[in-house]
């Protein structure tokens, strides 16, 4: 009779227990285990309540209760142990899952940081190459400008030298012309002086005397 009542109570309360929302459930297996414990607890409590109620109808009530209450405490303690073990297992599983999640997050962050470092390294390498190329271009332009400036300076120096030579040649030509002119003037003076001298000499010469008659 008692077993029949317990079975009926279990069948009655099981759907109610299953319909109740459960918190802190981590896996379907843990949920089923928790529902089993709660269902069994409700069924046992209902059964023991029936037994205790029957004890009050008996003549030896206290003796009957002393028989029911220890069994009730033992049954509840056993379910409590199972519940504690389930909670402990859930905490460990949650902790392990959290650790795994943290490790995965850390791994993802580490991968992202590594990728960022690679990108930064590539960017720095590209910038160094660009700076090196820019410096090389600047050096090339500087050398080219220096060559152009040197050529321009050489051309200017050559032009100045040529102009100076031209001036010197012109001055030498002028000096030669002046010297030639002076030479001609001197020659003219000398010829004139020679003519004048001859004329004076002719003028001063005595007239020829007539021959003495025999």
Residue identified by tokens 């008659």 is 213
pLDDT of residue 20: 41
Domain ranges across the chain: 1-190
Q: How far, in Å, CA of 8 to CA of 46, rounded? A: 10
DSSP letters for 16-73: HHHHS--SS--SHHHHHHHHHHHHHHHHHHHHHHHHHHHHTTSSSHHHHHHHHHHHHH
Rounded distance between C-alpha atoms, residue 32 and residue 86, angstroms? 11
Question: How far is residue 57's CA from residue 4's CA, in Å, rounded to a whole number?
Answer: 20
The tens-digit pLDDT sequence of the chain (214 residues) is: 444 444 444 444 444 444 344 444 457 888 998 999 999 999 999 988 888 888 888 888 888 988 888 999 999 999 999 999 999 998 998 899 899 988 888 887 888 888 889 898 988 998 998 998 888 888 888 888 888 888 888 888 888 888 888 888 888 888 888 888 888 888 888 888 888 888 888 887 555 555 665 5
Residue 11: its pLDDT value, please? 44
CA distances from 197 to 10, 40, 104, 187, 203 (A): 178, 174, 136, 15, 10
Residue with tokens 């004076």, as numbered in its chain: 200
Phi, psi of 165, rounded to the nearest 5 degrees: -65, -40
- d(CA 185, CA 47) in angstroms, rounded, equals 166
Residue 169 token pair = 């040649």
Q: Provide the sign of the torsion angle of the four alpha carbons 127, 131, 134, 140, taken in this order.
A: negative
pLDDT of residue 205: 59
Q: What is the pLDDT of residue 210?
A: 54
Tell me if 11 sits within 8 A of 43, measured CB to CB: no
Number of H helices, E strands in the chain: 3, 0
């Amino acid at each position: 009779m008692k077993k029949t009542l317990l079975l009926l109570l279990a069948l009655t309360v099981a759907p109610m227990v299953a319909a109740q929302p459960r918190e802190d459930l981590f896996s379907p297996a843990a949920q089923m285990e928790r529902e089993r414990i709660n269902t069994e607890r409700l069924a046992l409590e209902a059964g023991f309540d029936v037994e205790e109620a029957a004890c009050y109808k008996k003549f030896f009530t206290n003796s009957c209760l002393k028989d029911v209450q220890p069994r009730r405490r033992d049954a509840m303690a056993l379910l409590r142990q199972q519940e504690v073990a389930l909670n402990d297992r859930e905490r460990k599983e949650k902790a392990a899952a959290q650790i795994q999640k943290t490790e995965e997050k850390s791994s993802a962050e580490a991968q992202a940081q590594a990728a960022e470092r690679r990108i930064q390294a590539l960017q720095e390498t590209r910038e160094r190459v660009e700076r090196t190329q820019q410096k090389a271009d600047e050096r090339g332009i500087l050398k080219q400008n220096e060559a152009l400036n040197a050529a321009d300076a050489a051309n200017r120096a050559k032009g100045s030298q040529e102009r100076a030579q031209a001036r010197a040649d012109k001055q030498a030509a002028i000096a030669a012309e002046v010297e030639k002119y002076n030479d001609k003037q001197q020659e003219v003076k000398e010829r004139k002086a020679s003519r004048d001298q001859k004329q004076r000499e002719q003028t001063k010469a005595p007239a020829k005397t007539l021959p003495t008659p025999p």
